[in-house]
Structure 1
């Protein structure tokens, strides 16, 4: 019935008046109940659910908080690397950049890699890549000029 009313309004007045009126919000003249009231009241459960929302582990929340804290530390380390270059800042940058990259790529693996074996291989590869990255940055800091001075040398070119 409501469909007929809407079709006749389109045919008589055109589309433009129909879109700017409240005629689309009109309920049909004859509305039928899909289910009797007794069935609706039977669907309401008075028992508590077996699981509570938010009552589980706080690991995801703590991980998110750790990621945000690491991002804030990185924001502080970048000016510190410019103002006070040295071994402490170099090794701090090596650790925070590696951890930041590890967590970021871990989210990519979580979102885009599917299948049990593929996920295990991807996570193992990511862990290996992160370990090699951290070891390489520490090696560079110990045996060469360090991250801060290397970036300063790149800016001087």
Structure 2
């Protein structure tokens, strides 16, 4: 909704507003009828809703902030792991790379599911499928590391040809 907050800041100095004599308009210009007689603002109702304040909605903004920080730290770590894995290949690096790549993909696809899958039942099914996909991916990478040359040497072999 369009609202005019300070008409005097828009007008030149010394010129009075044409339509409104007040410099601060207290409420929006267009308000639906069902909200006109309410003594509180619509935003106050939104911020006091049960969905935002319930403990079922999540464990809070602290957990979300820590998760966001962990995602960014893993992304930066993956930038550094590439050159280190190339110059120092080994089983420890192979398995840590398998874990980091799987976790990075799991978190990224989880955000895609959260954005594009709607409905509780379909979201739970998609999330279960994501866990299954991540488990199969990690198991496959570990099997490749254990029974074949490993991720680091495989990438080095691809680059050498």
Work out whether the TM-score is over 0.5.
Answer: yes
What stretches of structure 2 of length at least 5 have no aligned partner? 1-10, 28-38, 42-46, 54-59
Report the CA distance between 1:152 and its aligned residue: 0.8
Aligned pairs, number: 123
Question: What is the TM-score normalised by the length of structure 2?
Answer: 0.66
Aligned partner (choices 91, 108, 114) of residue 112 of structure 2? 108
User: Could you say which residue in structure 2 is the equivalent of 1:153?
Assistant: 157
Q: CA deviation at 1:107?
A: 0.1
User: Matches of residues 105-144 of structure 1 in structure 2 within 5 Å?
Assistant: 105-144=109-148
1:86 is matched with: 90
- Structure 1 stretches of 5 or more lacking a match? 1-21, 36-41
Structure 1 stretches of 4+ with a deviation exceeding 6 A read: 32-35
SS state at 2:132 partner: helix
Quote the Cα distance in structure 2 between the aligned partners of 1:135 and 1:29.
Answer: 70
Q: Distance in 1 between matches of 2:132 and 2:76?
A: 26
**Any residues of structure 2 matched to 1:4-153 within 5 Å, and which?**
27-29=17-19, 31=21, 56-153=60-157
Counterpart Cα distance in 2 of 1:137 and 1:26: 72
How far is 1:71 from its partner?
A: 1.2
2:57 equivalent in structure 1: none
- Considering fraction of residues, name the structure with more helix: 1
TM-score, normalised to structure 1, is: 0.68
Deviation at 1:27, TM superposition (A): 2.8
Query: Which residue pairs with 2:31 in the alignment?
Result: none
RMSD: 3.0
